[in-house]
Structure 1
Amino acid sequence: MSPLKKTLLDINNAYIFFCASIYLGMFWSLHYFWFPNYPKTLNLSNYYDAIIPQTDLATKFFFISIPIMAIALVIMLITEWKTGLRWVPLAWIPGLLAPVLVQQLYIEDVNNQFKAGLTDEGTLQALLSEWMWLNDIRWIILTVMWLITMYFFIAKAKQKHQYNG
């Protein structure tokens, strides 16, 4: 493989790790720093500003980054097809699809209820609970996917080290 192709492939794979790391950081932050406080600090007068602007921005960001990541994963799959690491991009198919489906099929409905405006504290707390639980499903999936991606880079480094002696 030419040095230019190798560099482009490295950038491609680094983008996958970049996206996996953003996902990891976002969901770990939500789980450990925001979610523990939400039930006791969010109420009808402040929940909207604490959730909706951030989720709207995240949706816009991931609307752009996820399709690029999918293309990068196809490139990774093609280049790793004849290696023992082809399972990594194959694992990313459900690993990327599942969190997107959870978002589109379930979380978006909760977000829409938040956006419509809530008038009952009990409903707010029930929706917060559901919203946090659904996002924790994505947290678990994306943590596993980050670990798989890290394994890929460690395995590649070991291969290079073994090849170079």
Structure 2
Amino acid sequence: MKRGDLLHLGNACLLFLCVSMYLGTGWSLILFTFPIAPQLTVDNYYLQFVPQVQAATRFFTGMTLVMLLSAVGLAWRERRTALRWYPLMVLLVVVVATLLTRIFIFPYNDEMAAGITSPERLTEVLGAWMRMNRIRVGLWTVQWLSMLGYFVHRVLRAEHPAGLRLPRYGLSIPTHRERHA
């Protein structure tokens, strides 16, 4: 394997790591944090919510920049192959998820960090915040599935280099003899 190929593979793995971190964070939020939302009050929500969200925001802001650069690099490297569509999909969805976060989710984060004193307002803000995050987790899932598709596509290409080629999709189908060997 040439050095450039190794860097290319490392970049693809880095992007898969990043989308996996988003996927895991998002689904753990839905599965383990959202169910306790009804138990949060104006007296206890801050400690359960604000420090974790602030730490995640700092971390994921940097990681999002890495993802954008990685996806652009991967798409550029695959620009002449059908594999380019996977990092382009990741890039598009990262941009959409980032816009969703900045436009809709950050204002709720800021309001909760400032301190909510009304139980009704807390219920309203948490409900809206959870709805927006469910959408964002859906987007993060699409990112992860896109990168999974990228690696599955690469494996299929590597396993079946000969046979009927479908260049439009970057796939090859094994000949009858290869299938039954």
Query: Above 0.5 in TM-score?
Result: yes
Alpha-carbon distance between aligned partners in 2 of 1:83 and 1:62, rounded to the nearest angstrom: 30
Q: Tell me the equivalent position of 2:160.
A: 162
Alpha-carbon distance between aligned partners in 2 of 1:163 and 1:75, rounded to the nearest angstrom: 25
Q: Where do 5+ consecutive residues of structure 1 fail to align? A: none
Aligned pairs (5 A) from 1:23-62: 23-39=22-38, 41-62=39-60
Alpha-carbon distance between aligned partners in 2 of 1:68 and 1:111, rounded to the nearest angstrom: 23
Q: Where do 5+ consecutive residues of structure 2 fail to align? A: 163-177
Shift of 1:79: 1.1
1:84-119 Cα shifts (integer Å, max 9, x gaps): 111112212321011111111111111111111111
**Higher relative contact order at CA 8 Å, sep ≥6: structure 1 or structure 2?**
1
* TM-score, reference length from structure 2: 0.86
Mark the structure with the bigger radius of gyration: 2
Q: May I ask how many residue pairs the two structures share in their alignment?
A: 163
Answering whether residue 13 of structure 2 is matched by residue 9 of structure 1, we say no
Q: Tell me the equivalent position of 2:101.
A: 103
Moved over 4 A (4+): none
Q: What amino acid does structure 1 have at the position aligned with 2:71?
A: L
Q: Tell me the equivalent position of 1:89.
A: 87
RMSD across aligned C-alpha pairs, in angstroms?
1.4
Shift of 1:33: 1.2
Shift of 1:137: 0.6
Alpha-carbon distance between aligned partners in 2 of 1:34 and 1:125, rounded to the nearest angstrom: 15
Alpha-carbon distance between aligned partners in 2 of 1:67 and 1:145, rounded to the nearest angstrom: 15
Alpha-carbon distance between aligned partners in 1 of 2:20 and 2:91, rounded to the nearest angstrom: 17
